Protein backbone atom coordinates (compact mmCIF):
# COMPACT_ATOMS: atom_id res chain seq x y z
CA UNK A 1 0.00 0.00 0.00
CA UNK A 2 2.81 2.42 0.88
CA UNK A 3 4.50 1.85 -2.50
CA UNK A 4 1.20 2.52 -4.28
CA UNK A 5 0.80 5.80 -2.39
CA UNK A 6 4.38 6.83 -3.19
CA UNK A 7 3.80 5.99 -6.87
CA UNK A 8 0.56 7.99 -6.87
CA UNK A 9 2.19 11.07 -5.34
CA UNK A 10 5.22 10.98 -7.62
CA UNK A 11 3.27 10.39 -10.86
CA UNK A 12 0.38 12.72 -10.07
CA UNK A 13 2.45 15.64 -8.84
CA UNK A 14 5.68 15.32 -10.83
CA UNK A 15 6.08 17.95 -13.49
CA UNK A 16 3.69 20.41 -11.85
CA UNK A 17 5.24 20.41 -8.36
CA UNK A 18 8.96 20.46 -7.51
CA UNK A 19 10.22 17.03 -6.47
CA UNK A 20 11.32 18.41 -3.09
CA UNK A 21 7.73 19.47 -2.36
CA UNK A 22 6.50 15.99 -3.32
CA UNK A 23 8.94 14.43 -0.84
CA UNK A 24 7.94 16.96 1.84
CA UNK A 25 4.24 16.14 1.39
CA UNK A 26 4.89 12.38 1.41
CA UNK A 27 6.85 12.78 4.67
CA UNK A 28 3.86 14.49 6.32
CA UNK A 29 1.35 11.79 5.37
CA UNK A 30 0.47 9.07 7.92
CA UNK A 31 1.61 5.57 6.88
CA UNK A 32 4.25 6.98 4.48
CA UNK A 33 6.02 9.48 6.74
CA UNK A 34 9.82 9.80 6.63
CA UNK A 35 10.18 6.23 5.34
CA UNK A 36 8.13 6.88 2.23
CA UNK A 37 9.70 10.30 1.82
CA UNK A 38 13.24 8.90 1.70
CA UNK A 39 12.25 6.17 -0.75
CA UNK A 40 10.55 8.75 -2.99
CA UNK A 41 13.54 11.12 -2.69
CA UNK A 42 15.89 8.36 -3.78
CA UNK A 43 13.66 7.45 -6.73
CA UNK A 44 13.39 11.14 -7.70
CA UNK A 45 17.18 11.58 -7.59
CA UNK A 46 17.29 14.04 -4.70
CA UNK A 47 20.64 14.32 -2.90
CA UNK A 48 20.63 12.25 0.30
CA UNK A 49 21.48 15.15 2.61
CA UNK A 50 18.79 17.38 1.14
CA UNK A 51 16.32 14.49 1.32
CA UNK A 52 17.10 13.84 4.99
CA UNK A 53 16.40 17.48 5.92
CA UNK A 54 13.18 17.63 3.91
CA UNK A 55 11.89 14.32 5.30
CA UNK A 56 12.70 15.05 8.95
CA UNK A 57 11.04 18.48 8.84
CA UNK A 58 8.04 17.12 6.92
CA UNK A 59 7.55 14.25 9.36
CA UNK A 60 8.03 16.44 12.45
CA UNK A 61 5.54 19.20 11.56
CA UNK A 62 2.35 17.25 12.50
CA UNK A 63 3.80 15.69 15.67
CA UNK A 64 3.36 18.57 18.18
CA UNK A 65 -0.25 18.98 17.03
CA UNK A 66 -0.95 15.28 17.53
CA UNK A 67 0.70 15.25 20.96
CA UNK A 68 -1.10 18.37 22.16
CA UNK A 69 -4.52 18.18 20.53
CA UNK A 70 -5.48 14.63 19.54
CA UNK A 71 -6.86 13.62 22.94
CA UNK A 72 -9.31 16.56 23.20
CA UNK A 73 -10.25 16.15 19.54
CA UNK A 74 -10.93 12.42 20.05
CA UNK A 75 -12.95 13.17 23.19
CA UNK A 76 -15.08 15.63 21.19
CA UNK A 77 -15.45 13.26 18.20
CA UNK A 78 -16.56 10.41 20.45
CA UNK A 79 -19.58 12.51 21.43
CA UNK A 80 -20.86 12.22 17.86
CA UNK A 81 -22.65 9.15 16.57
CA UNK A 82 -20.89 9.41 13.21
CA UNK A 83 -17.26 9.48 14.40
CA UNK A 84 -17.42 7.51 17.65
CA UNK A 85 -16.88 4.04 16.06
CA UNK A 86 -13.99 5.31 13.92
CA UNK A 87 -12.21 6.98 16.86
CA UNK A 88 -12.71 3.97 19.14
CA UNK A 89 -11.32 1.63 16.47
CA UNK A 90 -8.33 3.91 15.90
CA UNK A 91 -7.66 4.11 19.64
CA UNK A 92 -7.99 0.34 20.01
CA UNK A 93 -5.67 -0.36 17.08
CA UNK A 94 -3.07 2.12 18.35
CA UNK A 95 -3.20 0.87 21.92
CA UNK A 96 -2.73 -2.73 20.73
CA UNK A 97 0.80 -1.65 19.78
CA UNK A 98 1.53 0.18 23.03
CA UNK A 99 3.04 -2.58 25.22
CA UNK A 100 6.65 -1.70 24.40
CA UNK A 101 6.01 1.99 25.05
CA UNK A 102 4.23 1.30 28.36
CA UNK A 103 7.04 -0.95 29.53
CA UNK A 104 10.08 1.12 28.49
CA UNK A 105 8.54 4.60 28.08
CA UNK A 106 11.27 6.83 26.52
CA UNK A 107 13.33 4.01 24.97
CA UNK A 108 10.17 2.15 23.97
CA UNK A 109 8.86 5.22 22.15
CA UNK A 110 12.25 5.78 20.46
CA UNK A 111 12.32 2.19 19.20
CA UNK A 112 8.64 2.18 18.21
CA UNK A 113 9.11 5.28 16.06
CA UNK A 114 12.60 4.37 14.84
CA UNK A 115 12.27 0.77 13.71
CA UNK A 116 10.63 0.86 10.26
CA UNK A 117 7.92 -1.78 10.58
CA UNK A 118 4.31 -1.56 9.34
CA UNK A 119 2.10 0.33 11.78
CA UNK A 120 4.94 2.11 13.54
CA UNK A 121 6.28 5.63 13.08
CA UNK A 122 5.96 9.14 14.39
CA UNK A 123 2.21 9.47 13.79
CA UNK A 124 1.28 6.26 15.61
CA UNK A 125 3.94 6.87 18.28
CA UNK A 126 2.49 10.33 18.93
CA UNK A 127 -1.02 8.97 19.08
CA UNK A 128 -0.03 6.25 21.56
CA UNK A 129 1.98 8.73 23.66
CA UNK A 130 -1.10 10.98 23.82
CA UNK A 131 -3.43 8.11 24.71
CA UNK A 132 -1.00 6.96 27.42
CA UNK A 133 -0.86 10.55 28.71
CA UNK A 134 2.92 10.80 28.27
CA UNK A 135 3.82 14.45 28.70
CA UNK A 136 4.89 16.47 25.66
CA UNK A 137 8.35 17.28 27.05
CA UNK A 138 9.05 13.55 27.41
CA UNK A 139 7.27 12.29 24.27
CA UNK A 140 8.56 14.83 21.73
CA UNK A 141 12.30 14.23 22.35
CA UNK A 142 11.71 10.45 22.21
CA UNK A 143 9.89 10.82 18.89
CA UNK A 144 12.69 13.03 17.50
CA UNK A 145 15.28 10.41 18.55
CA UNK A 146 13.14 7.72 16.93
CA UNK A 147 12.95 9.74 13.73
CA UNK A 148 16.74 10.08 13.70
CA UNK A 149 17.06 6.30 14.10
CA UNK A 150 14.53 5.76 11.30
CA UNK A 151 16.48 8.25 9.16
CA UNK A 152 19.68 6.23 9.49
CA UNK A 153 17.95 2.93 8.75
CA UNK A 154 15.90 4.26 5.82
CA UNK A 155 18.84 6.20 4.34
CA UNK A 156 20.83 2.96 4.20
CA UNK A 157 17.87 1.14 2.63
CA UNK A 158 16.92 3.92 0.19
CA UNK A 159 20.35 5.19 -0.82
CA UNK A 160 23.01 2.75 0.41
CA UNK A 161 21.69 -0.55 -0.90
CA UNK A 162 20.92 0.75 -4.44
CA UNK A 163 24.40 2.35 -4.53
CA UNK A 164 26.06 -0.94 -3.51
CA UNK A 165 24.04 -2.88 -6.10
CA UNK A 166 24.97 -0.36 -8.82
CA UNK A 167 28.64 -0.49 -7.81
CA UNK A 168 28.68 -4.29 -8.02
CA UNK A 169 26.88 -4.42 -11.38
* CA atoms of 28 and 45, how far apart (whole Å): 19
Q: What is the pTM of this model?
A: 0.88
Could you count the other beta carbons within 10 Å of the beta carbon of residue 116? 16
Yes or no: say if 146 and 109 are a contact pair by the CB < 8 Å rule. Answer: yes
Q: How far is CA 64 from CA 3, 42, 71, 117, 122, in A?
A: 27, 27, 12, 22, 10
- pLDDT tens by residue, 35-65: 999 999 999 999 999 999 999 999 999 999 9
Contact assessment for residue 111 and residue 95, using Cβ atoms and an 8 Å cutoff: no
DSSP output for 100-133: HHHHHTHHHHHHHHHS--TT-SHHHHHHHHHHTT
Say how far apart CA 30 and CA 13 lie, in whole Å. 18
Q: What is the pLDDT of residues 61-99, one digit of tens each?
A: 999 999 999 999 999 999 999 999 999 999 999 999 898
Amino acid sequence: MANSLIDWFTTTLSGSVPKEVIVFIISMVPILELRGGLIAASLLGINIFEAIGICIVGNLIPIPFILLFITPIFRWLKKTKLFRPFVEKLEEKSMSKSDQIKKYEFLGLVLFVGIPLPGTGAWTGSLIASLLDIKFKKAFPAIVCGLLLATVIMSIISYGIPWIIAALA
